[in-house]
Structure 1
């Protein structure tokens, strides 16, 4: 550290370090003349992803229908390592299928493998498969009907490694993801969508048949609802923050996390979080109940095809109900 202050004759040497926890760095490291300049390296934007894909696609043969621009638009939130891994997975799948070039099918399967895991053997026609179909159809239908939701990309009931029985995948708005400017209506619809699987289970099979398959969804709901109350000021408690961004315990810091508000306020926070989750769950149940015939039709198609892409799904829904105008616009520009 003493030789980093610039008093020696080694001014031509630049020392670079990297960390993903700048908040826990000792102040002695950050004094002028030491690590006094911080450069935040975020996940790549569209142009960055396109450049990374061009580098890793140089030694791979792509089919004429494969567009790197399209892949870059489909992968917001991917890191450079994930993009490289995705192309490598696509190349492996191409070799296994004895094809001469990587096609769109291999790219789609590779993206799914990177994000959700390896494909497992499809379930036999059984009660479990039908229950999973209703669960995922509940998510997908809410993604399509809610006005402020991002459009559905695909829904599938083919299981994946890691205990995933199926998934409903959205095409997120890249500008909003990069900027982090989430609206209150978008967050509420996001919570409603997350509760759609459990709501479908309850509406179709009853309280006694609700499964633990919605455990991850419920965790997402709890985190989003609490952040709306304690960080974003989007509740009846008022427009002020009650918690800081990072509450994790880390080496060199307090072993016990400190509450930043009183027990009385904590109780009110819990009530607000519960109120948001309860209202969104009631809304999810109402929408699925009102469109039960459509829900049953979607499940029948899922059991037959096992995977439905977003465009086919929206055509089916449009036969029963008028789609939100914003949803159609977003789906067209994606």
Structure 2
């Protein structure tokens, strides 16, 4: 019998593999996409989860919201809980900025490991991380540096964080090239300081990231000499009924042109990165010495040191809380 008083609600993370019978009119008529919250949403979530937490006067929920792009509501709740645990361990009466920062680092990168004691390895990792941060700071289109640290977390012996502008939905060619240069900054620093024969495997993940960005520029975004062609349909997970082998949308000759275009982008960016690092060697040496001494530098400290040696370009970012461009 007809009954208009019943509403059926369902949730899935794989809407692309649902049977078409479920999506016909009269079944599930309305689909609501639930993404991770933006900065305003994160601020609202933090206000809810901080009601039963005692925060220090210098803790700004807006600053936490800005630092946590990509965090879900559960991640933000976990963040404040981790910060509260650290506060209790340190026998403090209120959660401060130090506990918030450590909790963010732990959620993003994993548990803190033992500090490095080997002087040579520590210096090499310091140059690698400072290479990332220095290139990201001096290339105008790159996201601002948020933190550089030599404290191991998870599988990483050192880490460099950048604070992306999540409100910008479109990414320009200059920004993609800047990301490639920033990712290559660690390898370029090793090359300039220690020589080509002494480069390490530490740039393995960076090179994979670089290859992915460069290939998408060529095959999906039409940002190369190959032309305005889309040669890949995007990443799709293998599921029942799907092709198990990746199919190419071009000929063998086109594939060769794609490989050549990717190589040209990466080699051109690497040459620019090496030149930039070499020109600012004195600045890099100074930052490395301070980083080895302090083990962590935040973005403001890093930019202040770099500004003593060269001009740091101003980077315009959009502040959704204020509704106007903000200088980072």
TM-score above 0.5: yes
Say if 2:65 is the partner of 1:76: no
Q: Say whether 1:92 aligns with 2:85.
A: yes
Question: Which of the numbers 245, 258, 267 marks the counterpart of 2:247?
Answer: 258
Query: Structure 1 residue 329: deviation in Å?
Result: 10
In structure 2, what is the Cα distance between the partners aligned to 1:213 and 1:248? Answer: 29
1:171 aligns with 2:147: no
Offset from partner CA, 1:261-304 (integer Å, 9 cap, x none): 22221111111111111111111111011111111111111111
Unaligned runs of 5+ in 1: 1-7
**Pairing partner for 1:67 from 53, 60, 63:** 60
- How far does residue 119 in structure 1 lie from its aligned partner after superposition? 1.2
Q: Distance in 1 between matches of 2:316 and 2:200?
A: 30
Residues 249, 257 of structure 1: 8 Å contact kept: no
Shift of 1:188: 0.2
Q: Indicate if the aligned counterparts of 2:37 and 2:70 stay in contact, CA closer than 8 A.
A: yes
Q: What's the TM-score, normalizing by structure 1? A: 0.92
**Does the 8 Å contact 2:219/2:231 carry over to 1?**
yes
Report Cα offsets for 1:6-43 as digits up to 9, x if no partner: xx423322222222222222211111111232211111
Distance 1:122 1:327, change over 3 A: farther
Question: 1: CA distance between counterparts of 2:317 and 2:218?
Answer: 31
Equivalent in the alignment of 2:309: 320
Query: 5+ unaligned residues in a row in structure 2: which ranges?
Result: 320-324
RMSD: 1.8
Q: Distance in 1 between matches of 2:203 and 2:45?
A: 35
Identify the residue that residue 300 of structure 2 maps to in structure 1: 311
- Give the CA deviation at 1:152: 0.9
Q: Contact 1:151–1:327 (CA<8 Å) still a contact in 2?
A: no
Per-residue CA deviations over 1:80-120 (Å, capped at 9, x if unaligned) read 11111111110111111011110011011111111111111
For 1:298, which of 272, 275, 287 is the aligned residue? Answer: 287
- Find out whether 1:155 has 2:148 as its counterpart: yes
Q: How does 1:188-227 map to 2 (within 5 A)?
A: 188-227=177-216
Query: What is residue 276 of structure 1 aligned with on the other side?
Result: 265
Aligned with 1:236: secondary structure? coil
Answer whether contact 1:138 1:196 (CA < 8 A) is retained: yes
Of 126, 135, 153, which aligns to 2:119?
A: 126
Q: Does 1:37 align with 2:30?
A: yes
1:112 maps to which residue? 105
Cα pair 2:214 2:266 within 8 Å, conserved: yes
